[in-house]
Structure 1
Amino acid sequence: MTQRRAYRWPQPLAGQQERIWYGGDYNPDQWPEEVWDDDVRLMKKAGVNLVSVGIFSWAKIETSEGVYDFDWLDRIIDKLGEAGVAVDLASATASPPMWLTQAHPEVLWKDYRGDVCQPGARQHWRPTSPVFREYALKLCRAMAEHYKGNPYVVAWHVSNEYGCHNRFDYSEDAEHAFQQWCEERYGTIDAVNDAWGTAFWAQRMNDFSEIVPPRFIGDGNFMNPGKLLDFKRFSSDALKAFYIAERDALAEITPDLPLTTNFMVSASGSVLDYDDWGDEVDFVSNDHYFIPGEAHLDELAFSASLVDGIARKDPWFLMEHSTSAVNWREINYRKEPGQLVRDSLAHVAMGADAVCYFQWRQSKAGAEKFHSAMVPHAGEDSAVFRDVCELGADLNKLSDEGILGSRLAKSRVAVVFDYESEWATEHTATPTQHVHHVDEPLAWFRALADQGVTADVVPVRGAWDGYEMVVLPSVYLLSEETTRRVRDYVVGGGRLVVTYYTGISDEKDHVWLGGYPGSIRDVVGVRVEEFMPMGNDFTGVPDHLDLSNGAVAHDIADVIGSVDESATVLATFKDNPWTGMDGVPAIVANTFGEGRSVYVGARLGREGLALSLPEILESLGMAEAGGNDGRVLHVEREGADGSRFVFSFNRTHETVRVPVEGEVVVSSFADVDGETASIKPNGVIVTKK
């Protein structure tokens, strides 16, 4: 396993106290210099103490090959630093300038049909290009040499959102690199043949030179699933190798500056294996953009909890989120009143010690001109900027109260998330295209919250086996190592929930034989013989199954053929007798060693899980795990000195009254009256015990 880099956090400017970092992406090169002084004035008014600079400035910094212009960047960094605003300086390599791609079109990535991605947007470079790497590292070294020792630069922002647009490259460079990656991973071509099951459809290879990326194979055909899974692993690794090269070039010249790059962790974000990448940064950073609608707060809290898991509960940096609307959805909904402050404090509750936005000043031109910002087109006389100032004051208050010495308190319950299981379930030849790993963890997080339990979201490589109760939600891939951890956990007294679509295959996507979930059947006490997908694409097919406890299953159910003598059926399916599902077990409790398990054999969604959870928790001996008001999301951060910061967020669109324990530090859209508080929709209160 990779050695995790030592945790290092950006330190405050000389003479300043450590505080929650607050600010955003700043693009002064988009504006005339007369705007810069006004920017600094407004930053001080809002309480901004850090901005990220230079993220997309390569063409402005290296104006032609080997010709550098640092003068403008020096001037703005000095203005910011003298005003007490620190700089998170970007390597500026996210998008190459036109002079580079014109001279070297071979750095442009290709799609799976072989078409070249032309310049004109961003991230139009291939991660495996030795030519592009040479130019990018030359820029990194020039930036580091120029800014080493600069008192206002507190961290390196390496590139930007790796893989957002160039996750997959099918070029000749990528082909050669994929061959090398396979040789390093497997050693022999026979091992690759075994991993990919190439005996099927006469795909056997005689040499590593016969390995090609999963390029276009014709509409309606099916790619080898083992190759496709490995190509996704390779693509994450190829981008990671490029990041490491940039990181090391910068660190060699400026060893005292911590380095990070911004991940894109969200409930559906599986572009890269961010938990694997978490080993390679000095501190974890994340970009998160809200999901409009009723799941807004819950999805944000779920994602932030996963970032905390990736960071192993060290403080992490919210590098980007939005003050209001984004610009890249078909419909770009604004945030409701209160959500700008509420969303930011939710990230802080989940362990963020930095809150930054994209971006500082809303662009007047370009593809992101309608993306919201801290200073909107309307200027400082606007609700958005007033909220930005309010948030700055709130973060300063929390800093004054000592929140920087605290960490997100460990929950009793862990929900496991696995990037590779999501990649495997994305294949186009599966029992149903409507079921993926990525959907189930969020449903469990929300259903547990409905029961008053705020779970930790923990990567599969993380220490989930240190929790009282663990949920494995559609964790499709169970390697031998993860299987051993599951078995040891339950034998030792752990309480485990396993759902449908868990433990179907090993890490090579080879099915565990003998009935599902193959490697842990005895742990959960069931043997699943086949799947029952459901839908509405053909007239007369089943579109749901009722359960005896009142829940309703959609999309997929397990055909459980038998249960062990140690098991107890908690709920069954109810259906017409001729379907074969009437009376079939749906939820089964089991004892194994010193522990207990529950198997949930269908997709029940948040509502069905919330309905079923009381009996599930009871059977696991965890009935007392809830107890909090499910209308309120409760999150605690605890300090080494025993202090506790308690965050209470209203999850509903109705005012909720809650008891107040301790001193109220911050409140938004809430009225505090002695020992109780009324939290309005989109409201939050933070108390200190």
Structure 2
Amino acid sequence: MSQRREHRWPRPLEGRKARIWYGGDYNPDQWPEEVWDEDMRLMVKAGVNLVSVGIFSWARIEPRDGVYDFGWLDRVIDKLGRAGIAVDLASATASPPMWLTQAHPEVLWKDYRGDVCQPGARQHWRPTSPVFRGYALRLCRAMAVHYKDNPYVVAWHVGNEYGCHNRFDYSEDAERAFREWCEARYGTIGKVNDAWGTAFWSQRMNDFSEIVPPRFIGDGNFMNPGKLLDFKRFSSDALKAFYIAERDALAEITPGRPLTTNFMVSASGTVLDYDDWGNEVDFVSNDHYFTPGEAHLDELAFSASLVDGISRKEPWFLMEHSTSAVNWRPVNYRKEPGQLVRDSLAHVAMGADAVCYFQWRQSVAGAEKFHSAMLPHAGEDSQVFRDVCELGADLNTLADNGLLGTRLAKSRVAVVYDYESQWATEHTATPTQRVHHVDEPLAWFRALADNGVTADVVPVRSDWDGYEVAVLPSAYLLSEETTRRVRDYVAGGGRLIVTYYTGISDERDHVWPGGYPGSIRDVVGVRVEEFAPLGDDWPGVPDHLDLDNGTSAHDIADVIGSIGENATVLASFRDNPWTGMDGRPAIVANTYGEGRTVYVGARLGRDGIARSLPAILGSLGVDTADTSTADLLRVERVDEATGAGFTFLFNRTHGTVRTTVEGRPIVSSLAECDGTGASIEPNGVLVLKH
């Protein structure tokens, strides 16, 4: 991994105070110019102080090959700046214009069957195409030269959601680049053969020219897992290399202006290795769209915490989310009353110092015309716009009270998230297709919240080993380096929770031999001999296993053959004798060096984990979690220099919650304080300063 870039945050416009950045994507080229003045008036009314401009404007900026039209963009940027609204200016390279793809169809990406992705939507370009890179960098340089001295442009928005549609390309350009990537990573073809285990199925290669992308191999067949894992790594790196080329072209001409690109971090968002990408931006930005239903707030808080971990607790930028419904799900649910304000403040609580939406004005044409916006089709006289104005006032209140000097306080507990473990568990030949890495971290985050603990979600490369308690949830890949960190952490006094499907393979997806979890069996005090998948796809197969602590396992359980001499069984399976699981250990505590571990050998789900946590934490010597606060998500932001800070309280239920308060209420939505405490309604939030 490369060295992390110095954190640089967009500066306020000259003469303006630093505020929480607030606004969204602005697409003035979709509207006649007479609408722009009305946009300025309403933006000022809403408290908007920044918009992202030009993201999909390549065809308007460069209408013909080498011919540029900056006039319209100059005019709108000038209007924005004079209204006190800063500009996050895009490189405009997200989607090439028709004239380019017609002249150079070789820039279009191909799918795994060899079919060409035709223009007509967005991101129809190859990251590895030298032709496309040439045109894109020419536009970047033209943009940078034209706007290098513009006082209203405070940041560069490089590209847009890299890999959202062109994550995998199987073209000839990709084949060449994949070979070069493999040669750079391994050095010799022999090491590639070893990494990919090509002795299996006669896949041995003689030189790098025999490497091809993992194209279509027939329905129902199985791709080499090592090759597929490396292709996912390569695809993330190929897009990253394209981003870096754009970034550097802009930075060379405008060295004083910070640059970012918008990630897509969510509980299940593993398109790219965003922790790796976090090294390459001046400030981390993220696009997050809510999960409908009962997981809404918890998934949002989980994802925002992960972004904070990727940013290493430096301020980060919420570049896109929605005021209400999106347009790309089969059913596009609206947000409930209060959720527009609540969701935004939840991101702020988790470390965001910027809150932006897609988009400012709702489109009347195109594929996203039913995607909600800050200014909806209904116009100024709408609840959405009134909530947008309320939020703008709340963000200013938080800034006035000193929020910008604080960071998300460090939790006692870290839940570890690993992009590569997810990629490996996506293979189609595994013990069960119902188990993947991404499912388990969110379950632990929610179960900890059910016990009154708001955990930090951190990437596997981060400082998880600096926490009082760390959770490795289905961390399928444990490299030698991560194995060493596990051993050192626990031996030095750390408290570690490890679940099923952890430490199965090394970074090449080669299984650690000797029983699971291969490289840390002695640390956790268990030796798993076999997996016991659970399902309902055949009559008579077991679909669950009961535990003697009142919980149940679903989808998968471990057949623990033996435990260590220092291990203690906290819970066992209770099932029909014919399954071979009755009486076997399910949850095991162990001591190792100066530290302690607990191994959870089954998928218990959020509820089962929550019920098991008091015993798990007790065995680790950690104060038992407080279930009396489970109805609230409690988040602290603290100024490390002074100790002053803020407490954010969010109602996790669909009933009114009563709570005591410590501090002065400064922002509330669907919440009221009285002499004895506070009442927070469903979707409500209360912010206290202390």
What's 1:685 paired with?
Answer: 686
CA drift at 1:578: 1.2
Match of 1:513 in 2: 513
- For 2:643 and 2:623, the matched residues in 1 are separated by 27
Per-residue CA deviations over 1:378-432 (Å, capped at 9, x if unaligned) read 0010000000000000000000000000000000000000000000000000000
TM-score, normalised relative to structure 1: 1.00
Letter in 2 for 1:358: F
- Answer whether contact 1:661 1:675 (CA < 8 A) is retained: no
User: Alpha carbons of 1:465 and 1:626: their partners in 2 closer, same or farther (altered >3 Å)?
Assistant: farther
* Aligned-partner Cα distance in 2 for 1:404–1:468: 27
Cα distance in 1 for partners of 2:64, 2:675 equals 65
SS at match of 1:623: coil
CA distance in 2, matches of 1:217, 1:627: 51
**Which amino acid in the other structure matches residue 319 of structure 1?**
M
Tell me which residue corresponds to 1:131. 131
How do 1:16-27 residues align onto structure 2 when only pairs under 5 Å count? Answer: 16-27=16-27
1:338 paired residue number: 338
- Give the Cα separation in 2 of the matches to 1:614 and 1:683: 28
AA matched with 2:174: A
Structure 2 residue identity aligned to 1:145 = V
Query: In structure 2, what residue type is equivalent to 1:684?
Result: V
1:63 partner SS:
coil
In structure 2, the partner of 1:181 is: 181
Match of 1:652 in 2: 653
- CA–CA separation in structure 2 for the residues paired with 1:374 and 1:116: 36
Q: Which residue of 2 aligns with 1:282?
A: 282
Partner in structure 2 of residue 140 of structure 1: 140
Rounded to whole Å, the distance in 2 between the matches of 1:623 and 1:14 is 50
Residue type of the partner of 2:429?
A
**What is the deviation of 1:562?**
0.3
Distance 1:674 1:474 in 2: 46
- Whole-angstrom CA distance in 2 between matches of 1:507 and 1:419: 12
The C-alpha deviation readout for 1:33-74, integer Å capped at 9, x for no partner, is: 011000000000000000000000000000000000000000
Q: Deviations over 1:157-183 (max 9, x none)?
A: 000000000000000000000000000
Counterpart residue number, 2:191: 191
CA distance in 2, matches of 1:476, 1:233: 16
Whole-angstrom CA distance in 1 between matches of 2:632 and 2:651: 5
Give yes or no for contact 2:614–2:624 (8 Å, CA) kept in 1: no
1:145-544 residue pairs with structure 2 within 5 A? 145-544=145-544
Matched residue SS, 2:629: coil
| Identical amino acids, percent of aligned pairs | 83
Residue 193 of structure 1 aligns to a residue whose secondary structure is helix
Contact 2:49–2:86 (8 Å) recurs in 1: yes
Q: Verify the 8 A CA contact 1:490 1:596 in the aligned structure 2.
A: yes
TM-score normalised by the chain length of structure 2: 1.00
- Which residue type is aligned with residue 238 of structure 2? A
Quick one: distance in 2 between partners of 1:243 and 1:551? Answer: 47
Matches within 5 A, 1:544-555: 544-555=544-555
| 2:671 match | 670
Match of 1:109 in 2: 109
Tell me the residue number matched to 2:64. Answer: 64
State how many pairs are aligned: 689
Q: Partner residue of 1:602? A: 602
Does structure 2 conserve the Cα–Cα contact (< 8 Å) formed by 1:557 and 1:602?
Answer: yes
Q: Displacement of 1:367 after TM fit? A: 0.1
Q: 1:324 Cα shift? A: 0.1
Deviation by residue 1:316-348 (Cα, 9 ceiling, x = unmatched): 000000000000000000000000000000000
SS in 2 for 1:368: coil
Q: Structure 1: where are the runs of 5+ without partners?
A: none
Q: What residue identity is the alignment partner of 1:680?
A: E
Cα separation, 2, equivalents of 1:306 and 1:284? 11
1:6 is matched with 6
> What are the superposed Cα offsets for residues 252-286 of structure 1, whole Å, 9 maximum, x if unpaired?
00001000000000000000000000000000000
Letter in 1 for 2:537: D
Structure 2 counterpart SS, 1:236: helix
- C-alpha distance in 2 between matches for 1:675 and 1:399: 28
Compute the displacement of 1:641 (Å).
Answer: 2.0
1:439-487 per-position Cα deviation (integer Å, ceiling 9, x unaligned): 0000000000000000000100000000000000000000000000000
Q: Work out the CA distance in 2 between the residues paired with 1:653 and 1:75.
A: 47
- C-alpha displacement at 1:579, in angstroms? 1.0
- The SS at the match of 2:462 is coil
Q: Is the 8 A contact 2:450 2:627 kept in 1?
A: no
Asked if structure 2 preserves the Cα contact closer than 8 Å seen for 1:179 and 1:212, the reply is yes
Deviation for aligned residue 1:642: 1.6
C-alpha contact (below 8 Å) 1:412/1:625 kept by paired residues: no
Counterparts of 1:422 and 1:137, CA distance in 2: 33
Q: Distance in 2 between matches of 1:327 and 1:635?
A: 31
Shift of 1:227: 0.2
* SS state at 1:87 partner: strand
Letter in 1 for 2:684: G
Match of 2:578 in 1: 578
One-letter amino acid of the structure 2 residue matched with residue 683 of structure 1:
G
Matched, 1:641 2:642: yes
Letter in 2 for 1:257: R
Mapped pair 1:592 → 2:592: yes
Report the alpha carbon displacement of residue 644 of structure 1 after superposing the two structures with TM: 1.5
Distance 1:355 1:127 in 2: 29
The separation in 2 between residues aligned to 1:624 and 1:150, in whole angstroms, is 56
CA distance in 2, matches of 1:331, 1:59: 32
Distance, in Å, in 2 between the alignment partners of 1:133 and 1:641 is: 48
Once the two structures are superposed, residues 120-157 of structure 1 have per-residue CA deviations (whole angstroms, 9 ceiling, x without a partner) of: 00000000000000000000000000000100000000
Provide the C-alpha distance between the structure 2 equivalents of 1:353 and 1:671, rounded to a whole number of angstroms: 25
User: Offset of 1:2 from its aligned partner?
Assistant: 1.2
Unaligned segments of structure 2, at least 5 residues:
none
Q: Distance in 1 between the 2:338 and 2:141 partners?
A: 43
Looking at structure 2, the residues matched to 72 and 217 of structure 1 have their Cα atoms a distance apart, in angstroms, of 50
**Do 2:651 and 2:685's aligned partners in 1 also have CA atoms closer than 8 Å?**
yes
User: In 2, are the aligned partners of 1:453 and 1:628 still within 8 Å (CA)?
Assistant: no
SS in 2 for 1:41: helix
Contact 1:648 1:685 in 2 (8 A): yes
Distance in 1 of aligned mates of 2:136 and 2:250: 11
Distance 2:267 2:556 in 1: 20
Give the partner amino acid of 2:219: D
Q: Distance in 1 between matches of 2:235 and 2:225?
A: 15
Cα distance, 1:626 vs structure 2:
3.8
Q: Which amino acid aligns with 1:656?
A: V
Deviates more, 1:435-444 or 1:627-636: 627-636
- TM-superposed CA distance for 1:527, in Å, is 0.2
**Structure 2 residue matching 1:443: 3-state secondary structure:** helix
Cα offset, 1:528, TM superposition: 0.1
Letter in 1 for 2:563: V
**1:628 offset after TM fit, Å?**
5.9
1:609-633 Cα shifts (integer Å, max 9, x gaps): 0010010010001124546601100
Task: Supply the distance in 1 between the matched residues of 2:571 and 2:627 (Cα, whole angstroms).
Answer: 24
Deviation digits for residues 573-620 of structure 1 (CA, Å, limit 9, x no counterpart): 011111100001000000000000000000000000001001001000
Q: Deviations over 1:628-661 (max 9, x none)?
A: 6011000000012221200000000010001111
**Which contiguous aligned blocks of 4+ residues in structure 1 show a shift greater than 2 angstroms?**
623-628
